[in-house]
Structure 1
Amino acid sequence: MRLPIQIERLYLDFDGFFASVEQQARPHLRGCPVGVTPFAGAEHTCVIACSREAKLRGVKNVMPIAEARERCPDIILVPQTPDLYRRAHNALLSEISAVIPVDAVKSIDELTCRVAPADRDEPLTLAKRIKARIAENIGPYLTCSVGFAANRQLAKMACKAGKKLDERSYGDGCAIWFPRDMPAPLLRLELKDIPGVGSRMESKLFRAKIHSMADLLATQPKHMRKLWGNVTGGRLWYALHGYDIQTPPSGRGMYGHGRVLPPENRRPEHARSASRLLATKAGRRMRRDGWNAGRLALWLDLMRDGSCSRSRGLPAVHDDQAILSALQSLWDEVGDSLPPRARVMRLGVTLFDLTRASERQLDILLDDDATRRRWERATEAIDALNRKYGRTLVSIGPWTPPPGGYAGGKNQLHAHSARRGFLVSP
């Protein structure tokens, strides 16, 4: 385990990504407070992303629209356009890669890079080169904040700290934490500023008499491992103290999709139809990557009635018939527990307990191998047709996306650079 004496990591986070992409692509939105909503005419849902101008007026992500309008009466609400965001993501990756190799894509609007020795003494110059290339080749409204530090954990925290330097500005920041200056920048932060420390973990730390960043830094690695209940706590201690922590690669854990339903499509029958699309999309991605699922989960977020969830075991399958049959069984269970006149605001479907499709072991109590293989061949033929024509041409059962034409967001974006794939207005 090394203790770097120079900056070695860069963390980049785009500012209000969905909203800034909308501003870059649509000139009439530029300079205005913008809020992105799940679909058009969504007055009874939330703002899923907002522009820098809206954030300076007190609007936050996942804020109810009524509250957003109260804080910023002139906010302009636009429905999300996921395909536009994916094209922007791919184009941005291409431009950034021309300046510095991208080490890991963390999400659609975050990435990390290793800083070359030649750039470690002048990181601000590197940040300016990246921002200038984005502004010149894609557009000036897609701004980003950049953090530099000895390791990825500290670089991410520096990036977040540099995003909002004062009450009059937001985004387009750059924070540089040289190892020689540590831990002074950390001591200005709160415990909740550590990625992964939510309200529950913060309360747990308070009960352990850890009330500040100074208290946490003074804690021993073994104590932090005990507080977190696993090796994550110990790794975090070393990362906060500037060590180069290399987390071992983890296997794929799940494939899932979620969807906010439009107000007029929130009855259980609408949610059931939408869940079929989500399960089918998750199954496609799982098959493409060569996995089988051993369990399927369904969760529903109800308006005024809390939430509910169910899961069901699967015999290591990946074909649509097996996944949709299990989903039907889950809905049969859920139907009995839903309150009268239930309204489903959000839902999600997840495939997990994954095993490699090439290593499938048959259940000796379930003689379904011949049936499974027939359905797998049928599903492979369906996938081939849909890939060839670039859309859902064939499906098992009806394919009826809810209003808005967007079937659901996946839990992780696997991007492939596509230079100039994002077309913007001048």
Structure 2
Amino acid sequence: MRKPETIERLYLDFDGFFASVEQQCDRRLRGRPVGVVPFEGTDRTAVIACSREAKAYGVKNVMPINEAKRLCPELVLVPQKPDLYRRAHNALLSEIETVIPIDTAKSIDELTCRLDEAGRSDPLTLAAKIKATIAENVGPWITCTIGFAANRQLAKIACKAGKRDGGRYGDGLTIWRPEDLPAALHAVTMEEIPGVGGNMAKRLYRAGIFTTEQLYNVQAKHMRKLWGNVTGERLWYALHGYDIQAPASSRGMFGHGRVLPPESRTIRGAREISRLLLIKAARRLRRENFYAGGLWLWLSIRDGTWMGKRHLPVVNDDQAILSALSELWDQVGKDHPRGLMIFRIGVTLYDLSPSHERQLDLLLNDDCQRRRWENASKAIDNLNTRYASTVVSLGQWRPPAGGHVGGKISYTRIPSAEDFW
């Protein structure tokens, strides 16, 4: 396994991305504390993302609105515009590509690049050029923090460490050369290391590991034992500066979730929105040439959660998938005959099969009927693609207040244009 002798990776993270895009597009928001919310007209949701001015007051992402306003009474609430953020993401990547090739867009607001010889020898000039290109060609209110290190994982940690360098938030730059480590890494809290989530941190505490330095000094095989799989050992090599590459991930599911507006928090209202979300998920399933063998419905309710699953006979057409959803909602009605308050819903198609590996259910002789429904779904998709809008759907297409069915803010997935049809 190779251990680089110099910096080879750049990791870039946009600062308060969603709020800064709003500020760039609306000059009335510039310099003011901004909180992006799911939809306007209610204080019964959370701030999804906030600007650097709001963060200075202690406001954090995914914080209840009432708590955020208590910390920052001047907070300006702005309803989300997911399609705007998608277009901003594409514009920003296009500008960065004029300076350096992008290796991977890790999320809508993070990316990583491999450094050429010039970037390795003079990262300060490279970072300044990237920042200047963004400011000149997109706008000065969208800033970024950049980290340099020997591998992607260390560059990401360096980037996160630079977010609040010098007591200010954002527009940072951190360079961790191999000779700077492990001292620079030891200054980072263990919980800030990617891969050390809340549950993993508790496990490390029980093992007597409380600091990054203690974690760094653990042996590779012990790290594997602590994590219970090879991920721990892979993290050990990453922290020690090796050029470790994560294995390629495979698609495991297609799904969408949504916080419900107050007027849709009944079984009837939630059921209709879940139907639209599932149609969006099924469209993505077909675009990427998969079939699904299962459907999962998840509800966040007043007293906890409700979850249900249904087996699917390896399908990708709307009729079969929506029929299974209807069965799940019938079960919700039986479990809660007096109704219930639903705050959030999620639908997921899982147990995926690539189209060229599809195995039909031998006990379910519905192949002829299924192919007709598949052809109907393909025809609907083709019409919607032609007009770049949902002009045809199985059942009525009435998005809820605030829209964004299947096109919400996502930190882990970069939405496509089709998500907003």
Cα separation, 2, equivalents of 1:256 and 1:135: 35
Structure 1: 5+ residue stretches without partners: 417-426
Match of residue 315, structure 1, among 313, 316, 320: 313
Determine if the alignment matches structure 1 residue 249 to structure 2 residue 245: no
Q: Supply the AA of the counterpart residue of 1:73.
A: P
State the match for 1:375 in structure 2: 373
Contact 2:145–2:162 (Cα < 8 Å) also in 1? yes
Cα 1:375/1:187, change in 2 over 3 Å: same
State the match for 2:114 in structure 1: 114
Contact 1:149–1:176 (Cα < 8 Å) also in 2? yes
Could you tell me how far 1:333 is from its partner in structure 2? 2.0
Contact 2:263–2:269 (Cα < 8 Å) also in 1? no
State the match for 2:413 in structure 1: 412
Give runs of aligned pairs for residues 272-291 of structure 1, distance below 5 A.
272-291=271-290
Most deviating of 390-399 and 25-34: 390-399
Contact 1:259–1:347 (Cα < 8 Å) also in 2? yes
State the match for 1:231 in structure 2: 230
- Percent of paired sites with the same residue: 63
Give runs of aligned pairs for residues 15-414 of structure 1, distance below 5 A.
15-167=15-167, 169-302=168-301, 304-338=302-336, 340-408=338-406, 409=408, 412-413=413-414
TM-score normalized by the length of structure 1:
0.95
1:173-201 CA distance string (max 9 Å, x none): 11111111101111111111011322211
Cα separation, 1, equivalents of 2:292 and 2:280: 14
Contact 1:13–1:110 (Cα < 8 Å) also in 2? yes
Q: Supply the AA of the counterpart residue of 1:374.
A: R
Q: Supply the AA of the counterpart residue of 2:209.
A: I
Contact 1:290–1:357 (Cα < 8 Å) also in 2? yes
Cα 1:197/1:339, change in 2 over 3 Å: farther
SS at match of 2:171: coil
Q: Supply the AA of the counterpart residue of 1:385.
A: L
Cα separation, 1, equivalents of 2:363 and 2:222: 46
Cα separation, 2, equivalents of 1:333 and 1:233: 41
Contact 1:293–1:316 (Cα < 8 Å) also in 2? yes
Cα separation, 2, equivalents of 1:166 and 1:368: 65
Cα separation, 2, equivalents of 1:162 and 1:126: 16
Contact 2:14–2:142 (Cα < 8 Å) also in 1? yes
| Higher RCO (CA < 8 A, seq sep 6+) | 1
Q: Supply the AA of the counterpart residue of 1:201.
A: M
State the match for 1:423 in structure 2: none
Could you tell me how far 1:164 is from its partner in structure 2? 0.9
Contact 1:145–1:173 (Cα < 8 Å) also in 2? yes
SS at match of 2:353: strand
Cα separation, 1, equivalents of 2:109 and 2:10: 14
1:210-253 CA distance string (max 9 Å, x none): 11111111111111112111111110010011100112212111
Cα separation, 1, equivalents of 2:403 and 2:81: 10
Cα separation, 2, equivalents of 1:280 and 1:196: 33
Contact 1:90–1:415 (Cα < 8 Å) also in 2? no
Could you tell me how far 1:37 is from its partner in structure 2? 0.3
Cα separation, 2, equivalents of 1:373 and 1:223: 52
SS at match of 1:120: helix
Q: Supply the AA of the counterpart residue of 2:84.
A: L
Cα separation, 2, equivalents of 1:338 and 1:309: 13
Could you tell me how far 1:335 is from its partner in structure 2? 2.6
Q: Supply the AA of the counterpart residue of 1:155.
A: A
1:381-404 CA distance string (max 9 Å, x none): 000010011111111112111101
Contact 2:69–2:75 (Cα < 8 Å) also in 1? yes
TM-score normalized by the length of structure 2:
0.96
Contact 1:147–1:157 (Cα < 8 Å) also in 2? yes
Could you tell me how far 1:414 is from its partner in structure 2? 5.7
Cα 1:332/1:149, change in 2 over 3 Å: same
1:79-111 CA distance string (max 9 Å, x none): 001111111011001000110001001111111
